[in-house]
Chain A
Amino acid sequence: MFINWKLRELNLKIVYYGPALSGKTTNLQIIHAKTNPKLRGELVSLKTREDRTIFFDFLQLELGSIKGLKPKFNLYTVPGQVLYAASRKLVLQGADGVVFVADSQMSRLADNIHSFKAMHQHMKELQLDPREVPCVVQFNKRDLPDVAPVALLQRYFAPNGRPSFESVATDGVGVFDTLKAAINQVVAQVQQKL
């Protein structure tokens, strides 16, 4: 979090984390495509020729001023591929909140769990308490045939009423609900910390 009192700006960083190909980049693409161009910057993607994220995607959203303070949200995605563990941790640095994008397919359950575990590990290495970092979970790819029941996924990734959303990111379903929940959580946490 960074506040510039002269410009009355509140800067917050939200990181989309999750296993390879779960749809993190797609979330940012949809947000970019469907947000008023006046409120968003360019979508920058550091990716391979096959469109796999190699370092991060970045998109900034800027809202109108609220009570004299202008909130800006810096959205990042991490690369999900196993190879890029070090980059994931770098991107996670300084995050004010995370969106965990899980791939709902039953066959990806183990990958999701491992990614979730690695995320907690990274947070600890960055001296963040995983229980205190605001986190919203998205169960993506609900359109595919072999999906795990939501109740099961919630049990793993969203116990204790942590906000979770079903989505079909490619069609934009659930993308903004997830984002809004993440933003609300992050702001609530900032208030609590102050």
Chain B
Amino acid sequence: MDPTEPNVAHLLKKGIAAAQAGDKAQAHEILTRVTEQDPTQESAWLWLAGVAESTEDTKTYLQTVLAINPHNRQAQKGLKWLLSKTGEQMPGAGLEIADFSQFSAAPNDFMPAGELTPSFVLTTEQAERIDECLARMAYESEAKCIILADMTGQLISERGQLEEMHTQVLSALAAGELAATNEMARLVGEKARFKLMLHEGERNSVYLSDVGEQLILVIVFQVGTPIGLVRMILKQAVDELAPILVEAREAGVSRESINNTLDGDFAKLLESELDSSLEFGGD
């Protein structure tokens, strides 16, 4: 059982105790709550099968257990017995032949806890400082375009000659690439992340770098620009940007002004905006 969910674990215990005590209604109610909170609780489904009111329900619960774990002996036996009673064949061939052993051993189970990506809010003043810094960088490095994004690919600020929509896509791709590269670094036993990445093209090159733990800079520049220069300017920018972003996380725009905008009205207006503007040319 998952120790991180004391609540679910506790409920499950209570549900099982009720079932053992013969209080079917109580057990049913508690166990259902367990599966609502975590539908992957194999034993909750199994106990539900035991306290179900109809054979049909028992069957559904047992099938669920097998869907979660096709090797569950009790569910296999129970279902077989039930089906022999009703003269049916074992249904859902897919449920049986599916091999889930690979799931339980999937590498993601052993990954360390990922970093939290907290949401943050930039004040006008902070956004201006960032824009200025990017403008200066663009000027000094003669870059075609500079983008600051967060690790999830959300664009924070940009400078240069690219169309807006392209820079959005570039941020998403850069974030994906950095995430993938860092994961590779981890897998080959690197303690530190790979800090910088350069893609050289025939006319343009792209430079990627992280700024602190949470942010990414993408610089697009013409081939022929001295790479040493780009690197130096990048380093200065990182030093300059990092504190602004720390500040943005700690003390952003006052909660009040955000609350005044993002209120119930906002939700209503958004809903009607969605209804009127999405699904253009829909049928």
B283 touches A63 (CB 8 A): no
Binds A, one of B14-22, B91-99, B191-199: B91-99
Binary flags per residue of A84-102, CB closer than 8 Å to B gives 1, else 0: 0111111101111000000
Binds A, one of B35-43, B79-87, B221-229, B232-240: B35-43
CB-CB < 8 A to B189: which residues of A?
A: none
Binary flags per residue of B137-172, CB closer than 8 Å to A gives 1, else 0: 000000000000011111111000000011011001
CB-CB < 8 A to B188: which residues of A?
A: none
Binds A, one of B23-31, B105-113, B200-208: B105-113
A159 touches B36 (CB 8 A): yes
A152 touches B60 (CB 8 A): yes
| Nearest opposing residue in chain A for B66, CB measure | A110
| Nearest opposing residue in chain B for A179, CB measure | B278
Partner of A13 from the list B154, B180, B267 (CB cut-off 8 Å) is B154
| Nearest opposing residue in chain A for B106, CB measure | A85
Binary flags per residue of B52-85, CB closer than 8 Å to A gives 1, else 0: 0000000010011011101000000000000000
A144 lies within 8 A of chain B by Cβ: no
Extra A-B contacts (5), CB below 8 Å, given A5-B127, A39-B278, A90-B183 = A34-B280, A86-B183, A109-B95, A113-B40, A180-B275
Name A141-194 residues within 8 Å CB distance of B. 152, 155-157, 159-160, 172, 176, 179-180, 183-184, 187-188, 190-191, 193-194
CB-CB < 8 A to B168: which residues of A?
A: 41, 60, 74
Could you name 10 residue pairs across A and B whose Cβ atoms are closer than 8 Å?
A4-B156, A42-B165, A58-B169, A60-B169, A67-B269, A89-B111, A127-B116, A157-B39, A183-B274, A194-B262
Partner of A124 from the list B4, B131, B257 (CB cut-off 8 Å) is B4
Q: Say how far A112's CB is from chain B's closest CB, in angstroms.
A: 8
Report whether over half of chain B's contact residues are helix, strand or loop; otherwise say mixed. Answer: helix
By the criterion of a CB under 8 Å from any partner CB, how many residues of chain A are at the interface? 83
A58 touches B38 (CB 8 A): no
B169 touches A44 (CB 8 A): yes
A86 touches B107 (CB 8 A): yes
A41 touches B60 (CB 8 A): no
CB-CB < 8 A to A93: which residues of B?
A: 114-115, 117, 151-152, 179
By the criterion of a CB under 8 Å from any partner CB, how many residues of chain B are at the interface? 88
Partner of A74 from the list B4, B64, B128, B153 (CB cut-off 8 Å) is B153
A-side residues, CB < 8 A to B, are 1-7, 10-11, 13, 31, 34-36, 39, 41-42, 44, 46, 55-56, 58, 60-61, 63-64, 66-69, 71, 74, 76, 82, 85-91, 93-96, 106-111, 113-114, 116-118, 120-122, 124-127, 130-131, 152, 155-157, 159-160, 172, 176, 179-180, 183-184, 187-188, 190-191, 193-194
Q: Say how far B93's CB is from chain A's closest CB, in angstroms.
A: 7
B39 touches A176 (CB 8 A): no
CB-CB < 8 A to A127: which residues of B?
A: 113-114, 116
A110→B95 CA distance, assembly (Å) = 6
B10 lies within 8 A of chain A by Cβ: no
**Which 7 interchain pairs have the tightest Cβ spacing?**
A94-B152, A6-B127, A107-B94, A1-B119, A36-B280, A117-B40, A94-B117
Partner of B40 from the list A85, A111, A116 (CB cut-off 8 Å) is A116
CB-CB < 8 A to B107: which residues of A?
A: 85-86
| Nearest opposing residue in chain A for B281, CB measure | A34
CB-CB < 8 A to A89: which residues of B?
A: 108, 111, 114
CB-CB < 8 A to A183: which residues of B?
A: 270, 274
CB-CB < 8 A to B120: which residues of A?
A: 1-3
A3 touches B253 (CB 8 A): yes
| Nearest opposing residue in chain B for A160, CB measure | B36
Partner of A64 from the list B36, B151, B183, B277 (CB cut-off 8 Å) is B277
CB-CB < 8 A to A35: which residues of B?
A: 278-280
A110 touches B108 (CB 8 A): no
Partner of A94 from the list B98, B100, B151 (CB cut-off 8 Å) is B151
CB-CB < 8 A to A13: which residues of B?
A: 152-154
